[in-house]
Amino acid sequence: MAEAPGEAPAAEGRPSKNGPYGRIFGLGEAVAKPRHIPERTCVGCGQKRPKRELVRVVGTPQGSLLLDTTGKNPGRGAYFCRQSTCWKKGTEKGTLFRRLNVDANPADLDNLYSEFQAIAAAPSREN
Ligand SMILES: [Zn+2]
Ligand 1 mean position, distance from CA 96 (Å): 13
What's the pLDDT score for residue 28? 54
Global model pTM greater than 0.85: no
Contact status, residue 81 vs residue 123, Cβ threshold 8 Å: no
Neighbours of 16 (CB within 10 A): 10
Domain segments of the chain: what residues? Answer: 39-121
5 — pLDDT class (breaks 50, 70, 90): low
E strands within the chain?
Answer: 39-41, 48-50, 55-59, 65-68, 76-80
Top-confidence residue, 122 or 12? 122
* CA torsion angle 93 96 100 106 (round to 10): -70
Neighbours of 79 (CB within 10 A): 22
Top-confidence residue, 24 or 37? 37
Ligand 1 mean position, distance from CA 105 (Å): 23
What tens digit of pLDDT does each residue of 46-102 get?
Answer: 999 999 899 999 988 888 888 998 878 888 899 999 999 999 999 998 889 888 988
Tell me the mean pLDDT in the region 21-48. Answer: 76
Ligand 1 mean position, distance from CA 41 (Å): 8
What's the pLDDT score for residue 58? 93
**φ/ψ (deg, to 5) at 101:** 60, 40
- Fold classification of 39-121 (topology level): Hypothetical Cytosolic Protein; Chain: A; (3.30.1230)
Ligand 1 mean position, distance from CA 47 (Å): 6
